[in-house]
Structure 1
Amino acid sequence: MAAVHKGTCFCGAVEIEAEGDPVAMGYCHCDSCRHWSAGPVNAFTLWDPAKVRVSKGAEFVGRYNKTPASDRQWCTRCGGHLMTGHPGLKLVDVYAALLPSVDFKPGVHVNYGETALRMKDGLPKFRDFPADFGGSGEMVAE
């Protein structure tokens, strides 16, 4: 049986569950993620949307779509960020910090061309996205 990872918003009103393992894990350096997270980089875990659900507090989930590429979700009680759906990719990003039982092993940096925080960790760094995710596939140096 696959592991079920559980997490909550900041106040605990919204609980989420993710089943199994993420499809991918890494860091996003794009301007949108940095502004949304209020940090220099966003640590992501990407999941098949069928493996992620709100198990409590769905009535407190707010949504914002800056672009059709992202469906950002947060708790309307505390403002705690939960996840971002990426309909075009058919994936959902559950923020790595929300699922403490996931063994976070980043494999890639995306949108490193926009970085505000250089990270010298030896991981592949894409200027934007890998080609199979609609990006240029161009790599950049650390």
Structure 2
Amino acid sequence: MSTSDTHVARCFCGAVELEISGQPEGMGYCHCASCREWSAGPVNAFSLWPKDAVKVRKGQDKLAHYAKHPRSVRYWCSTCGGHLFTEHPEWGLIDVFAAVIEDFEFAPGVHANYQETVLPMHDGLTKFRDFPEPLGGSGETIAE
């Protein structure tokens, strides 16, 4: 993690800029089909921040959003289509996609929804079948 308590995240074209303060509540990888389809990749690297830690400092009018279901509202730039974050209202957390945060040391701690993986990862991290119990999951883990 960088020593700074303030981070900047940008969309692909830079029209939308976020300011993130403090430290994330957690970081890891999500393997669920929704995250894979949204990111167009085999896994999504997440960083979860308290809702009040994430501010749009530029391009609020360029933000578009979509909620396939109410627990995940996904945001992107309407100019370039670059994905920025997912709001999780029931948790009070925002997942700022780790790849869009500048000068940020991504230090994953867990895998979520590993039962849905299409890219097995042998990294020694805890692999939750769904989510940890505090986030409403079973807390069950899967062996590598």
TM norm structure 1: 0.97
CA distance in 1, matches of 2:96, 2:121: 21
Structure 2 runs not aligned, ≥5 long: none
Report the secondary structure of 1:66's partner residue: strand
What is the percentage of aligned positions where both structures have the same residue?
A: 58
2:8 paired with 1:6? yes
Q: Is 2:73 the counterpart of 1:71?
A: yes
Q: Distance in 1 between matches of 2:85 and 2:21?
A: 15
User: 1:141 Cα shift?
Assistant: 1.1
| Structure 1: gaps (5+ residues) | none
Residue of structure 1 in register with 2:52 after alignment: 50
SS class of match (1:65): strand
Q: In the alignment, which of 122, 125, 129 is matched to residue 123 of structure 1?
A: 125
Encode CA deviations 1:65-96: one digit per residue, 9 max, x unaligned: 00010010000000000000000111000000
| Partner SS for 1:103 | coil
Q: C-alpha displacement at 1:31, in angstroms?
A: 0.3
- Residue 100 of structure 1 is matched in structure 2 by 102
Aligned to 1:139: 141
Distance 2:42 2:97 in 1: 14
Match of 1:90 in 2: 92
Count of residues paired in the alignment: 142
> Which of the numbers 108, 111, 120 marks the counterpart of 1:109?
111
Report the AA paired with residue 31 of structure 2.
Answer: H
Separation in 1, partners of 2:102, 2:57: 16
Instruction: Give the partner amino acid of 1:33.
Output: C
For residues 104 and 7 of structure 2, what CA distance do their matches in structure 1 show?
7
- Match for 1:61 among 55, 60, 63? 63
Q: Tell me how far apart the structure 2 counterparts of residues 29 and 54 of structure 1 sit (CA, whole Å).
A: 27
Aligned positions of 1:8-27 closer than 5 A? 8-27=10-29
Q: How far off is 1:7 after superposition?
A: 1.5
1:100 Cα offset (Å): 2.5
Give the secondary structure class of the aligned counterpart of 2:61: helix
CA offset digits 1:10-36 (Å, max 9, x no partner): 001000110011110000000000000
Deviations 1:87-118 (CA, angstroms, capped at 9, x unpaired): 01110000001112221100000000000100
Aligned-residue CA RMSD in angstroms? 1.2
